[in-house]
Every structure is written in structure tokens, then in C-alpha cells.
Structure 1
């Protein structure tokens, strides 16, 4: 029987790993005890962000989809993680490429060219460097954003802006502020000679 623990990794151990073990789930055919233990360890680290209630729900879901002829085998790590993300998405973490790319000389160029926000959103979404053909869609998005901002500001001035208009503008301005902060930080590090170079 599991001891009562709260929060983070301890909660994953208690409410997911412990619950499934206590329920009788066993390693799938072909998986060694060590491999099952490694998988459980990865799940403990990966799902430590989850609320205890969602971990309990996840455990119930996993018991319902257990594999094998007796329906008592652990689901794969991918299945557990996918169900976990469906219950409670992990908190947003800024991909490293966003800060490294925008903090390089590329950030100020994008800001001067008026396509900083689309670049920021592209890097955040795709988590990869830009390819030459990506620039066209980023610039197209920048033009569309500029048009949308003008329309929404006009609607706000006339008192006819919808909640959706206002929400879109707030989100765009929030992304702009974060992207500009990264650009400023990169410029400051370059000025100090801290080794920030081209992306």
C-alpha cells in the first residue's frame, strides 16, 4: 500500500504508479522489469505538473485500457502521456529556439521589418529554424496582422469592437511584448560581449 504523499513527483508515484501497481497491472510481454521501472520513472518526471485529481482520473483511464489477454498489462508510455496531456496539458515552456533566435541578430531585423510577432509565433509553434520558404508565410502573416490591428483599433475607437477583437489584440500585444523583451535581452548580452551570435 502506498504512503500518503502530496504534490509533484510524489503525487505521480502515489496516484498513478502506485494506484496501477496496487490494482495489479503488470509489465507487458517482452518488457523487462528494468524497462518497466525506467518507463515509470520517466512518467514520474514528465507528469509531475499534474494535479492529484487528474492523476487519479488518469489511473482509472489506464486501468480501463490495460492490455494483454487478461487486460492487466501497463499501457505504453506514449498512451499514458497522451491521455495525461488530454486531461491536463503541460504548462507552456518557451522552446529554447525562440530565445536563441530572437536574441540573435535575427530578432532586431524582424522587429525593424515588422514581422517580429509572426516570427516569434512561428518559432514557438514549430520549434525549428526558419527555412527560406517560411519567410513568405511569416511576412504574409505580418501584413495580415497589421491589417487586423488597424481594423480592431478602428472598431475600438468607434465603440464597435467585439470581445473577440479585443482578445485577439491583447494576445497579439502580449506576444509582441514578450518577443521584444527577448530581443532587448539579446541586444544587451551582445553589447556585453556575452557570445550571443547569429541564429
Structure 2
């Protein structure tokens, strides 16, 4: 059985790389055959998320953007990627800092302080380390979340919770579970000596 990744890459090779090769696109002046192959390999990996129909449309568009005096050379990788993103945006990818920061000593500190979910959501949204001002806002958000959790759970117990209440609770619990999983994974790696977190030594956990 093919995996999604294998199927996606196969579709890029067939509907984009293969189509453009069959159409006669050649490597640009100054680019070696190995460099062209490497660029095509990067495109295969980067565009594996695209639907076959969009890949076919992309191939036709790339032919219209062909470079060189005879308009028969591959355009740059950036041009191809930009055209691909215009047709179909890549799926959301969680910023790497979410896992690296929560898996460091920062994660357990946030969990102990009761603001793990606000920290997780901030990192996912901002994609950067929090500053002292951000930390204050997250602690305020944690207080609001705590009150909201108590209120909604009381409504659920009383049978008076609205659909909006239940949706908020499900989203919060989902984010809490994911954040705690990352924290546990980080604690396990530290316990086994599997490297040092990039944020150790620059803790913000005590910022006010």
C-alpha cells in the first residue's frame, strides 16, 4: 500500500517534472545537470501536498513562464514554488519552535505555572520566543482560561452548556493534550541525555 507521501511525490514526478521534461524544458544556462536534478528533487518534496489536477495546471503555467531566449528553459525554483502556492497553499505546519521550546525546560515551568496552553498557542501563532510582555499576557490569558474552564464545566454538568461552550472546551483540551505530549517527550529526551534544548540557558520562565 502506498503512503500519502509516496503517492504525492509520485504525482509531482509524473504531472510536473515528467510533463515539463516531455515538453522539452531544458536546464538554464549556467546550471549543471546535477543542479537541475537537485532542484527537481526539492520541488518533488516541497510540492508533494498538491492535488494531481493542480500539478497539471502548474505544469502548463510553468511552460508559459519558461526562461531563456527561446522560452524553453526551466524557470527558477522560486518562481515554480510561488506559482504552486498561488494554486494551492501548503497545509499548515506547526512552527518548529513550538516543539523545541515546550520540550525544553520552559515547558515544565509553564505547565507548573498553569499557563502551558497560552504558551503553546502563542508559539504556534507567533513562531518566536516570548518576550517579558508576552509572558505577562499569557499569564493573564491563563487566568481567563481557568475561569472559563470552571464555568463551562459547571454548565456541562448542569446540562446547560451551549455548542460554543463545548467547542471552546474541546479546543482547549486538544491544545492542552498536545502541549503536554511535547513536554513529556522533552523530559524523556533530557532524562536520557539526548541533547540540550536550544532554549536552555535563556529561560524566560521567571519573567514578569
Normalising by structure 1, we get a TM-score of 0.71
Aligned to 1:41: 41
Q: String of CA shifts for 1:161-188, please: whole Å, max 9, x gaps.
A: 12x4433322221111011122223333
Mapping 1:20-99, distance limit 5 Å: 20-25=20-25, 32-34=31-33, 35-63=35-63, 74-85=74-85, 86-87=87-88, 89-90=90-91, 92=93, 95=96, 97-99=97-99
How many angstroms does 1:191 deviate by?
Answer: 4.0
Aligned partners of 1:125, 1:16: CA distance in 2, in Å?
33
Inter-CA distance 145–71: structure 2 relative to 1 (3 Å threshold): farther
Inter-CA distance 104–160: structure 2 relative to 1 (3 Å threshold): closer
Aligned partners of 2:38, 2:178: CA distance in 1, in Å?
37
How many angstroms does 1:88 deviate by?
Answer: 5.0
Inter-CA distance 120–63: structure 2 relative to 1 (3 Å threshold): same
Q: Tell me if structure 2 keeps the 8 A contact 1:117–1:175.
A: yes
How many angstroms does 1:25 deviate by?
Answer: 4.2
Aligned partners of 2:72, 2:160: CA distance in 1, in Å?
61
Inter-CA distance 166–24: structure 2 relative to 1 (3 Å threshold): farther
Gaps of 5+ in 2: 1-5, 201-208
How many angstroms does 1:102 deviate by?
Answer: 1.6
Inter-CA distance 76–148: structure 2 relative to 1 (3 Å threshold): farther
Gaps of 5+ in 1: 1-5
Normalising by structure 2, we get a TM-score of 0.69
Residue correspondences, number? 191
Helix, strand or coil: the match of 1:133? helix
Aligned to 1:120: 120
How many angstroms does 1:65 deviate by?
Answer: 5.2
Inter-CA distance 169–75: structure 2 relative to 1 (3 Å threshold): farther
Root-mean-square deviation (Å)? 3.4
Q: Tell me if structure 2 keeps the 8 A contact 1:67–1:74.
A: yes
Aligned partners of 1:144, 1:71: CA distance in 2, in Å?
60
How many angstroms does 1:142 deviate by?
Answer: 2.7
Aligned to 2:3: none
